[in-house]
Amino acid sequence: MRGLYSIFMILLLIPLILPLVYAEFIENSLIITLSASGMASVTEKINPRITVSSINIPSISNKISNVLATDEKEIVLSSAQNGNMIRIDTLGASHVTLTYHADILNKTSGIWNLAYNSDIQSTITLPSISDIISVNNVPIDIKNGTVIMPPGQVSLSYVVRNVTANNFVASWDNLNYPVKIITASNIGNFSFQQNSKSIMFSVDNNAPVLVIVPKSLLGGPYDVELNGNVVESKQYYQNSTHSWLRIDPPQSGSVKIVGSTAIPEFLSIPLLIFVMGTMTIILIGRNRKI
C-alpha cells in the first residue's frame, strides 16, 4: 500500500514538475516606458534554455510593432509575430533582450489610460511630467516616476502636465523685480535672499525649468544647486536686462540659484541720494576754500 501511495503522489506531482523542467525560458523582467506623446516601449529580459532552438514569448498586446530580439552578444535574432505570441529563434542563446512598441494606451478627456496583462511583475516608467490618477491594484512600489505592479491585469490612468509660466516678484528696498519660471513642475516657496545673492524655490518633479532673471536683481554667471548638490544648468541667452537660465533637476526638491552679483545692500535709493548729497557738500566746500 505504501508503494502504491508513493506512485500515486508522484503521478500527482508530474504536472507540476514538468513545466519547471521543460520550460522553454524564464522571464526575468518586464519594463514599460511611456512617453508624453502616448508611446509605450516594452523591454523584456529572458533566459531561454540553451538546449532549445526557439522560444515563444507572449506579448502584452496583439498590436505591436518594431520587434527586435538580441542575444547576450547583441546579435540580432530572427523573430516573427503571430497574434500576441512572438517566436524567437534563440539558437542556443543564454540571454535574450526583446523590445517592441505596444498599443496599450488610449486618451480620453486629457487622461491617458494604460491597460495590459502580464504573467510576471512589471515596471512602468511614466513620463517625467505626469501624475497618477488611478490604478486597479495596489502597486508593489512607486518611486521617482516608476510604478512596479504585480503580475496579472494592470490598469493605470495618468495625466501629463502642461508647461506653464509662473510669475513671481522679488522685492528689495521697496522695489519689485519680476522673475518668470517656465516649467511643467509645480513651483513653490519662492524667495530672494540678497545677502547670499540667491533665488530659491521648490519643484515637485524633474521636468526642465527655465528661469528668466533680471540682471539688476541677480547677475551671472550662475551656480545652481538642488537639495544642496550642484546640478546641470545653462545660461543660453541674455540681453542687456535679463538672463535666461535652463535647469535640469534630476528629481524634486529645493532649487537655489546663486549669482555673482545682487542688488547692493548699501546702495539703496535713499542711501544713494544721501551719499550724492554728501559728496556735493564736500565739493562745494573745497571750491569755496580755493
DSSP 109-178: TTEEEEEEEESS-EEEE--TTEEEEEESS--SEEETTEEEE-SEEEEEEEEEPPPEEEEEEEEETTEEEE
- Distances in Å between the Cα of 14 and the Cα atoms of 11, 23, 116 are 5, 14, 32
Instruction: Return the closest-CA partner of residue 30 out of 19, 15, 41, 44.
Output: 44
Instruction: Return the closest-CA partner of residue 204 out of 172, 240, 163, 252.
Output: 252
> Can you give the pLDDT at residue 143?
84
- How many Å apart are CA 263 and CA 266, to the nearest integer? 9
- How many Å apart are CA 215 and CA 125, to the nearest integer? 39
- The residues of the chain that CATH labels 2.60.40 are 2-160, 164-262
- Distances in Å between the Cα of 24 and the Cα atoms of 18, 90, 290 are 11, 10, 106
Residue found by looking up cell 576754500 in the block: 289
Instruction: Return the closest-CA partner of residue 217 out of 235, 181, 185, 243.
Output: 243
Q: Does domain 2-160 have CATH number 2.60.40?
A: yes
For the question of whether the overall pTM of this predicted structure is more than 0.85, the answer is no
> Can you give the pLDDT at residue 207?
84
Question: From edge to edge, which strands make up the β-sheet containing 85-88?
Answer: 55-58, 85-88, 79-82
User: Does residue 119 contact residue 95 with C-beta atoms inside 8 Å?
Assistant: no
> Can you give the pLDDT at residue 16?
45
> Can you give the pLDDT at residue 1?
55
Residues of the chain with confidence (pLDDT) below 50: 8, 11, 13-22, 266-272, 274-275, 280-284
How far is residue 174 CA from its own chain's centroid? Answer: 40
Q: At 128, phi and psi to the nearest 5?
A: -65, -15
CATH topology of domain 164-262: Immunoglobulin-like (2.60.40)
> Can you give the pLDDT at residue 140?
94
